[in-house]
Amino acid sequence: MNLKFLLAFCFLCSLILTRSVTAQNNFDAFWTKFKSAVIKGDKAKVANLTKFPFSLGYDPSAKSGEGYIRTKTTFLRRYRIIFNGEVDVVKCFQNASPKKEGKAYSVACSFKQEPTGGDKPFVYSFTLTKLGWRFAGFENVNE
């Protein structure tokens, strides 16, 4: 009797853990949470959903040619540049559909002054980490 109980308990625990990992790795759930935080301007939540070091794409002044933000503090200080510099991310994210690229996802946005259907040089990228999906990079592909 105790063995059956133990086996049933272990089976239930594995189901719970599997669902937890699946939910954590589910991009759609992550995207909903991330998009909501960006639209609400919840900088702390956005930072908590970000992978560090965070890639800023091409940076001619960086040794490797790519710029990085290494800490949440720096990310929060540069938040406005990433989300409301040359691009209005709130406007972009409201109707954006992330594009799957291999094992990652990305969302492309246009300049503030351009129509949403125009050129979209600003790319927000997302990657799966040990902690689940995270915002991994921002790049202006024109630079």
pLDDT of residue 118: 73
Number of domains in the chain: 1
Q: Is 44 left (phi over 0), alpha (psi -120 to 50) or beta?
A: alpha
Q: What are the DSSP E strand ranges found in 60-103?
A: 66-69, 99-101
Q: What is the CATH number of the domain that holds 80?
A: 3.10.450.50
**Overall average pLDDT of the 123-134 stretch:** 96
Q: Please give the distance of CA 133 from its chain centroid, rounded to a whole number.
A: 6
Tokens standing for residue 94: 């409201």
Taking phi first (over 0 means left), then psi (-120 to 50 degrees means alpha), and beta for anything else, what does residue 68 get?
beta
The answer to whether the predicted template modeling score (pTM) of the entire model surpasses 0.75 is yes
The whole-chain average pLDDT of the chain stands at: 82
Distance of alpha carbon 34 from alpha carbon 137, whole angstroms: 14
- Token look-up 């589910």 returns 26
For 32-65, how does the pLDDT look when each residue is reduced to its tens digit (9 = 90+)?
999 999 999 999 999 999 999 999 886 655 556 5
Question: Can you tell me the distance from the alpha carbon of 99 to that of 120, in angstroms, rounded to the nearest whole number?
Answer: 13
Strand, helix or coil for residue 114:
coil
Range of the domain at 103: 2-140
Residues in Cβ contact with 42 at an 8 Å cutoff, skipping those fewer than 6 apart: 36
Residues 101-114: tens digit of each pLDDT:
999 999 999 998 87
